[in-house]
Structure 1
Amino acid sequence: MASYQYVAVNGSGKQKRGKIDADSPKAARSKVRELGLMPVSISEISAQAISSGKGRGDSGEEKFSFSRLFQPSMSSSSLTLITRQISTLVSSAMPIEESLRAVSQQCDNPKHAAIISGVREKVLEGHSLADAMRKYPRVFDDLYTAMVAAGEKSGHLDEVLERLADYTESKQELKGKIAQALIYPVMLTLVAVSVVGLLLSSVVPKVVEQFVHMKATLPKSTQILMAMSDFVKNYGIMIVLAAGVLVTVFMVLMKKRTFREKVHAVILRLPVIGKVSRSLNTARYAQTLSILHSSAVPLIEGMHISSDTLTNVIAKERLNQAAESVREGKGLGRSLQETRLFTPMMLHMISSGEKSGELDNMLGRAAVNQSNEFKRNVTMALSIFEPLLIISMAGIVLFIVISILQPLMQMNSMVKG
């Protein structure tokens, strides 16, 4: 008999974790259901892990997993296409196992075909489609499987899959826009640093060397420039190595929950970057909650799943607390207001949807509103950053030019005199 670690939700949507002994994963799921819980994921615990106590503990520190590293994955564009294909076949009244077989045969990528075939095999063994998809967590995340489970229960699996395809596509578009927006400032920063470094390490020493040979009295600005040039020339490689070490140390520390919470709390308090971070996380939360709620996923369960999609730990904790407040009887709008993350416009829209009974519609509108808010904040941040970077670079170059010209002007005055 093996030991299994499970993640499940109770009737009120609260997430539960625990361990259970069973002969097989199927038996483990049955035992979890007997406890009155709906299993989200079941994973076997190896004997070595049990004896050593390794894994992801309550401290929230992320542990490297070789098994997860070698699990199959799929790009967002491929997942969108496959989801639409399954939706089309299911809507034509084709049984789910036949739909999966047809989609696997349609896949050009052998790895993708193997994933869909693996899901089909689990379905043929008696698993639900959602449970079968949970065997591939790097392909079908908690949001995806929760929506599929809700679609199976409601009998509208084809509509839910179509919404999932739209959601996956829009999420990929958002990532693309973020990457596109960051390309120019990142390239500009790299060029600025490279130009200044090249001037200080190569150009300035050759020019200033002439003044040193002439034993001229150099102005203060030229002396500062020479000191900067010597520092970059002598310690440039060490500076690059130190920067690499600092980045590596920072990435390691970010795996620790306490340090990550402090960093994310600081990010939320920053004037411009904090606004961008809040709008990004709230836009993602609103969009996820909207599609979950419209797919008949219970509100509290949808809130927990939506908070898990966020990148900021502090925002995630606040929204999990909001889910608990809703479970205790508070309204959704009031609970979200207490997080101090959302704009007044979104809070008014959600409260209005609760009162009028059109929460699905209002959540969808709020998601669009938050996405537009995020785009505006990104545009504003870039419009501030880019001119500041150009002005800073121009100021440094101007200082270098003045520091070189001043001795020349002094020598010219001495010759004329």
Structure 2
Amino acid sequence: MPAFAYEALDAKGRRKEGMIEADSPRQARQFLREQGLTPVELTEAVERVTQQTQHRRWFQPRISTGELALFTRQLATLVAAALPIEEALKAVAQQTEKARLSTLIAAVRTKVLEGHSLAEGMSTFPSVFDPLYRAMVAAGEKSGHLETVLNRLADYTEQRQQMKNKLLQAMIYPVILTLVAISVIAILLATVVPKVVEQFVHMKQELPFSTRFLMGASDVVRGYGLWFLLLTALALIIWRSWVAKPANRRRYHAAILRLPIIGRVSRGLNTARFARTLSILNSSAVPLLEGMHISGDVLSNDEAKIKVSEATERVREGSSLRAALEQTKLFPPMMLHMIASGERSGELDNMLERAADNQDREFESQVNIALSIFEPALVVSMAVVVLFIVLAILQPILQLNNMVGR
């Protein structure tokens, strides 16, 4: 029985939204009238979610990682209680407070009721359920251990959310500090410096180089500050257009990997993500080649994706996983040794999980080191600029005092 998303008016003229199950739109409208509601709009759940996804792609956030993790955990609990998939989906949809998520779950349930598997139903919404998610669900359905796979997925999703939160918390202070530093210097040059320095113009004496430089910088900020902001915005737009092309994006990502500090952080993030994803897929009975392909797709760096894809081809040709990954020049020696040990012992999924844990810890350490270097460097740079402004203002005053003293 398909699900329909409706908008209706009650007896007092108040608008209500919700989900209703019926064999046809006509029957759905009849059910609404029996409840004292006047149908205004009625859309099949699958179509409604597709419209929302297309309409909100740029203006509204998609289903958050936290919401997806909660949905996965609830579904795993109900499946473990021997509840049929369609009933479990219905129960989760009823418990969900977010209308958009409830509509999406109902749409997936409609696909399941039509005879599709759960993974096939989720494939209708690739922006919500990524290839990793769908592959693991499909493997769980085939192996008969769907509840175990869903619990692993929930763990993975929650870990990813925690990593995002850590990165966000780590970046808030440096970003705010940078914006404040730029704003303070701009305000000094645009408002304070001109009023102070103009007192020296009538001295008819040659001003120190620092004062002349400061006056020039102040004139530039006042005269061209707005143009500079507009050019910066235009440059960002051009940059985004340039990076949108796959070939250019690969060059950019390759350049990132070659950078001293940022490159190490990027490699650590991507290798940890690859190892953890492959570990989950391997333990869920997904074939190694398919798991490597999916794990490569979840990487954020295009250059790393291509190198992992080349490693997948080498494994397809008969190479060991350790030898194939070593040729990418992305993975640290410790991770490669752990992968080789896992291949020899038959415990590849456990060794991949341990390697991912090590990489996560190393990644956090690298981020902390980078921030511990950046923050004091920014403070010192701001102090140097402010000190230069103060000295540039004080030097003419000291010269005037020396002239008066003579």
Bin of the TM-score, shorter chain as denominator length:
0.7 to 0.9
State the match for 1:259 in structure 2: 248
The one-letter code of the counterpart of 1:220 is F
C-alpha deviation, 1:171, in angstroms: 0.5
C-alpha deviation, 1:68, in angstroms: 8.6
State the match for 1:135 in structure 2: 124
Q: Cα distance 1:221–1:377, how it changes in 2: closer, same or farther (>3 A)? A: same
Among candidates 162, 179, 185, match of residue 173 of structure 1:
162
RMSD over aligned Cα atoms: 1.6
C-alpha deviation, 1:290, in angstroms: 1.2
1:72 and 1:111 in contact (8 A); partners too: no
The one-letter code of the counterpart of 1:181 is A
Within 1, Cα distance between the matches of 2:127 and 2:141? 21
Q: Deviations over 1:387-412 (max 9, x none)?
A: 22111111111111111111111111
Question: Are residues 1:226 and 2:215 paired?
Answer: yes
Local SS of the residue matching 2:398? helix
Within 2, Cα distance between the matches of 1:138 and 1:86? 19
Question: Are residues 1:393 and 2:345 paired?
Answer: no
The one-letter code of the counterpart of 1:279 is G
The one-letter code of the counterpart of 1:212 is V
State the match for 2:180 in structure 1: 191
Within 1, Cα distance between the matches of 2:218 and 2:266? 38
2:243 and 2:249 in contact (8 A); partners too: yes
Within 2, Cα distance between the matches of 1:110 and 1:222? 62
Structure 1 stretches (4+) deviating beyond 3 angstroms? 65-73
Local SS of the residue matching 1:69? coil
Q: Deviations over 1:216-259 (max 9, x none)?
A: 32111111111111111110101111111111111111110111
C-alpha deviation, 1:111, in angstroms: 1.8
Within 2, Cα distance between the matches of 1:208 and 1:146? 68
C-alpha deviation, 1:332, in angstroms: 0.7
Local SS of the residue matching 1:296? coil
The one-letter code of the counterpart of 1:340 is K
Within 1, Cα distance between the matches of 2:344 and 2:139? 24
State the match for 2:331 in structure 1: 342
Within 2, Cα distance between the matches of 1:222 and 1:297? 69
Local SS of the residue matching 1:187? helix
Local SS of the residue matching 1:329? coil
State the match for 2:204 in structure 1: 215
Q: Deviations over 1:61-110 (max 9, x none)?
A: xxxx9579399942111111111111111111111111111111222222
The one-letter code of the counterpart of 1:104 is A
C-alpha deviation, 1:349, in angstroms: 0.5
The one-letter code of the counterpart of 1:302 is G
Within 1, Cα distance between the matches of 2:219 and 2:57? 46
Within 1, Cα distance between the matches of 2:57 and 2:383? 46
Q: Deviations over 1:15-66 (max 9, x none)?
A: xxxxxxxxxxxxxxxxxxxxxxxxxxxxxxxxxxxxxxxxxxxxxxxxxx95
Relative contact order higher in (CA < 8 Å, ≥ 6 apart): 1
2:89 and 2:109 in contact (8 A); partners too: yes
1:129 and 1:148 in contact (8 A); partners too: yes
Local SS of the residue matching 1:135? coil
The aligned length equals 353
Within 1, Cα distance between the matches of 2:191 and 2:99? 53
Q: Deviations over 1:158-211 (max 9, x none)?
A: 000000011111101111111111111111110111111111111111111000
Q: Cα distance 1:344–1:168, how it changes in 2: closer, same or farther (>3 A)? A: same
Structure 1 residues 48-59: aligned runs within 5 Å: none
Structure 1 residues 40-51: aligned runs within 5 Å: none
State the match for 1:383 in structure 2: 372
Among candidates 196, 202, 210, match of residue 191 of structure 2:
202
Within 1, Cα distance between the matches of 2:377 and 2:227? 27
Local SS of the residue matching 1:149? helix
Q: Cα distance 1:179–1:124, how it changes in 2: closer, same or farther (>3 A)? A: same
1:72 and 1:139 in contact (8 A); partners too: no
2:278 and 2:349 in contact (8 A); partners too: no
1:87 and 1:159 in contact (8 A); partners too: yes
Local SS of the residue matching 2:115? coil
Question: Are residues 1:152 and 2:141 paired?
Answer: yes
Within 1, Cα distance between the matches of 2:105 and 2:150? 15
1:74 and 1:138 in contact (8 A); partners too: no
The one-letter code of the counterpart of 2:57 is L
1:97 and 1:123 in contact (8 A); partners too: yes
